Amino acid sequence: MAKNIMIQGTASSAGKSIITAALCRILKREGYKVAPFKSQNMALNSFVTKDGKEMGRAQVVQAEAAMVDPMVEMNPILLKPTSDVGSQVILNGEVYKNMSAEEYHKAKPRFKNRVKEAYDKLNSQFDVIIIEGAGSPAEINLRENDLVNMGLAKLVDSPVILVGDIDRGGVFASIYGTIELLEPEERERIKGFIINKFRGDVEILKPGIKMLEEKVNKQCLGVIPFMDINIDDEDSVTDRFRNKISGDITIAVIKLPYISNFTDFTPLEIESGVKVKYVSSKEQLKNADLIIIPGSKNTIMDMKFIYDSGIDKEIYKKHRDGVPIIGICGGYQILGKEIVDPYSVESPINRINGLSLLNTKTVMAKEKRTKQVKGKFKIIPRVCSNMKEEVITGYEIHMGETEIFEGNKSLIELENGRLDGAINSKGNVFGTYLHGIFENDSFRNSIINTLRAKKGIEIKESNLSYRELKEKEYEKLARIVKENIDINKIKKIMGL
């Protein structure tokens, strides 16, 4: 039977995901076989496992930190918002149905056994399970039928560590208020707290920590400094949308209202001299050297946003000026002539005209394709014409089927013979369903150097492997966190 600990937060984005990842790597390095677990994740960033199951990216990051393959049991319920009040529910890696927030809340008791079954499978295979909560356990309106915070802690009998974000301000009040709003048995589960994202001299903080410890009768298990770590974050509550200030090359990613899998662009963001801008107005596109239209969980509504905001007109202007344009998944669909959703899979609007930069038509299907894939470019796009290797890997998560018409050709031939993507006759506009495509080092480096050459900037030979970079960042994360928490106390709480 595995030992466990649960990381809860005083609010969303307090740092639960990243601290869970850190503990996964720290305990892995101490010789334990570690698994992350989050029963319910609400995010538009997802991943496909080797067996074709869809799960949240945060648990994939944590699995990588633990140095194990991601398993869908690590995230049995994934909620992908399709509107302000509804989500597509992914259960055990497969589409269950679209549900409103009210419908899902009422259905939670039916999912309880599925959550426990997923946890039990991990429990039988690992030494340690690091559990991540969601939002705050003090959301008292959601206490009934809770599956992700104290309800889950009780279900799997886990002690809890509470994390507060001092960078937002009011950390003492948030920790104190969270604990006070809990029921007595829930308070008893909390064995200590961690203050996260601290900037400054920790000595100045100590009197406040001592007073808080006395008021809540809980111990402080660490003060973690604000960290500059290149690790994928969980959702759109993220610093990545605060655009990097400098860079010789500017890549503009359209910040769609229903943007999904924006973690596709992390490999570009960490490249030296590259500025990735997330743009939501036509004015922000003016200096773009490359435009990327990202994935979407509601492609028709995001296409409507592009029209309503006037971004389409600036995209056409940049296209006439020779700026290359790439579409990923939903962005690939948007580049085409028409998007049709006959079954209202994503939107109540059943059709919309696309940008017509590709001669394609997409029809939304009832079944979702989720698969890891490998292939080769049939046609090398102009923006990466010097690519050394043509083999490409990625993963598909889409419900649309796209048909290619005259003047355009398929982009990639997959190893099973299927074709993916489309490219125009000039080779400067292309789309693909492959998420994770920029993790292919030769493809990414070729794009960046082609853009440099076009601007007369010195070409840099990059030896950067994205996989190696991630490993360095996980090690850096583990080192910083371990230096600033009492890991022996945490292990004792877990019974290790």
User: What are the residue numbers of the active site?
Assistant: 329, 435
Q: Which residue, chain included where needed, has tokens 């937002």?
A: 168
Count the Cβ atoms, other than its own, within 10 Å of residue 89.
20
Using CA atoms, how far apart are residues 276 and 442, in angstroms rounded to an integer?
Answer: 19
What backbone phi and psi angles, to 5 degrees, belong to 165?
Answer: -100, 105
CB 419 within 8 A of CB 478: no
Q: How does strand 419-423 pair with strand 409-414?
A: antiparallel
Closest CA to 395 of 217, 260, 214, 236: 260
**Residue that is written with structure tokens 């048909």 in the block:** 403
Listed in order, strand segments (DSSP E) in 40-189 are 40-42, 46-48, 54-56, 77-81, 86-91, 94-100, 128-132, 160-165
Neighbours of 5 (CB within 10 A): 23
Cα separation, 426 vs 379, in Å, equals: 11
Calpha distance 429→359 (Å, rounded)? 11
Q: What letter does residue 460 receive in the DSSP assignment?
A: -
CA distances from 459 to 80, 137, 290, 292, 445 (A): 40, 51, 17, 22, 10
- Report DSSP state, residue 385: T
Among candidate residues 398, 428, 410, the one with its CA nearest the CA of residue 322: 428
Amino acid at 5: I
